[in-house]
Amino acid sequence: MFRPFSARRRRIAGAGLALALGGLAAGCSPKPSASFQGIDVTGAEYARDLPLTDQDGQARSLKDFAGKVVVVFFGYTQCPDVCPTSMGELAQVKEALGERGDRLQGVFVTVDPERDTPEVLKAYMANFDPSFVALSGTPEQLAAVAKDFKIYYKRVDGPTPTSYTMDHSAGSYLYDPAGRLRVYHRYGSGPQALLADVRTLLDEAG
């Protein structure tokens, strides 16, 4: 069951959707090759790579996941609702794919590198699927990647220095097995819509 958005989260999700649609208008093919449940962004010229470090200290890029459908989500481990819901749905999708589940790669990019250490990220991924990859980097690296992905994030101070929260865009980016950005799913679309689009991309690849 989904928890309702706060007004702030609705604004952030809406901003992420508007950015995705803006990219679609600016750089996408006018004739999409497939029918998707999410927003077709085939041909988009943003969100091109993820040059960050995973929870094991290994440098990563999207090329590492060639041959798989890649689903990328930006969040942080202390997020109370949107992030665990999104990652939990992604784990459900992988399970529903059965034998084809090994051709789905979940990627979680933290927007809170201060608290999301490699150990914390590794434990967090284990809650959903140990094959999922969590990425982090320096503040400068994350800012550059967020700009390329049109992601919004901002620290919101709490009553103590360590009790802050992070406002952030809520949506998932789907790449086909050839490494091309194809679909944007806004938060709340549900696992069935995500599953349908993953299957479409896998079927395209054969």
Q: Which amino acid is at 33?
A: S
CA 57 to chain CA centroid, Å, is 20
Binding-site residue numbers for Cu cation are 79, 83, 168
Indicate the pLDDT class of residue 206, thresholds 50, 70 and 90.
Answer: confident
Residue 1 reports pLDDT greater than 60: no
Binding-site residue numbers are 79, 83, 168
Q: What is the pLDDT of residue 33?
A: 53
Taking only the tens place, the pLDDT of each residue in 24-58 is: 333 344 345 568 999 999 999 999 999 999 999 99
The DSSP result for 29-44, as a single string, is: -SS-SS--SSEE-TT-
What is the average pLDDT across 148-164? 93
Q: Which amino acid is at 194?
A: L
Residues 201, 177 contacting (CB under 8 angstroms): yes
**In 75-190, which ranges are continuous DSSP H helix?**
82-96, 118-126, 139-149
Residue 145: phi, psi to the nearest 5?
Answer: -65, -45
Domains of the chain: 7-29+37-205 (3.40.30.10)
Classify residue 164 as exposed, middle or buried by CB count within 10 Å of its CB (0-12, 13-18, 19+): middle
- Alpha carbon distance 58, 41 (integer Å): 29
Task: Give the SS3 label for residue 204.
Answer: helix
Per the confidence metrics, is the pTM higher than 0.75? yes
Which among 145, 152, 156, 157 is positioned nearest to 168, based on CA atoms? 152
Tokens of 100: 């084809």
Taking only the tens place, the pLDDT of each residue in 71-114 is: 999 999 999 999 999 999 999 999 999 999 999 999 999 999 99
